[in-house]
Amino acid sequence: MEPTVNSYPSQQKSNKMLPMVVVGAVLLIAIIGSYLIIGQTKKTEEKKEQPETKVEKNERTPTEKAKIDKSTVKIQVINGTGTPGQAGEVVKALVEAGYKADNIKTGNAEDFDNSTTTIEARINFEEIVKDIEDLLKSTFDEITVKSTNLDEKSEFDIVVVTGGKIFATPTPTESVSPTGSLTPTPTTQPTTTPSPTPPTP
């Protein structure tokens, strides 16, 4: 009679291993899933933070304009009233305020009937226009900043056309002679005395 092989213990071992494998697989899936979820959450948080940083940068950029150096601004001053020396007075005020005389040119308008002083500028020179307007307020009664901008190809950054207030030109003062009679004063002529001549040898 042959001995019978009992296969029951091996089946029992495999049955015991099966739950451990399933539990291990579930744990592995849970670890991988939690890692992916945490990683995804971090990515979305980073994406949320990035636009806020960009917005802050965009808000700061417009206020941080590069300041224009007065000594580099090219200005044309046109006498619009015909008063002699009026453009020169404007140039003097500009130079005292820090603008360079070499960059300022003067001229005369075709017509001398400007009722107001006008300032026209190229784009991005608003700060300079405001400065020049403040400088000229004490000299001119009315100043208008034109809404149209100078062409980009213009030789000048700012064009000032004087108008309105006419400068008074100084009139020569006449000397008044005192009234009364003038008595003539006698004039004396010097007399010459002859000098002795040396004897001749």
SS3 79: strand
Average pLDDT, the chain: 76
Phi, psi of 79 (to 5 degrees): -75, 110
The answer to whether residue 64 scores a pLDDT higher than 70 is no
pLDDT tens digit string along 132-168?
999 999 888 899 998 778 888 889 999 999 998 555 4
Helix or strand (DSSP H, E) at 87: helix 86-96
Q: Specify the pTM.
A: 0.51
In the chain, count H helices and then E strands: 3, 5
Helix or strand (DSSP H, E) at 94: helix 86-96
Instruction: Give residue 34's pLDDT.
Output: 83
Instruction: Give residue 44's pLDDT.
Output: 66
Over residues 18-44, mean pLDDT: 81
Which domains occur in the chain, in start order? 70-161 (3.30.70.2390)
pLDDT tens digit string along 84-123?
999 999 999 999 999 999 999 999 999 888 889 999 999 8
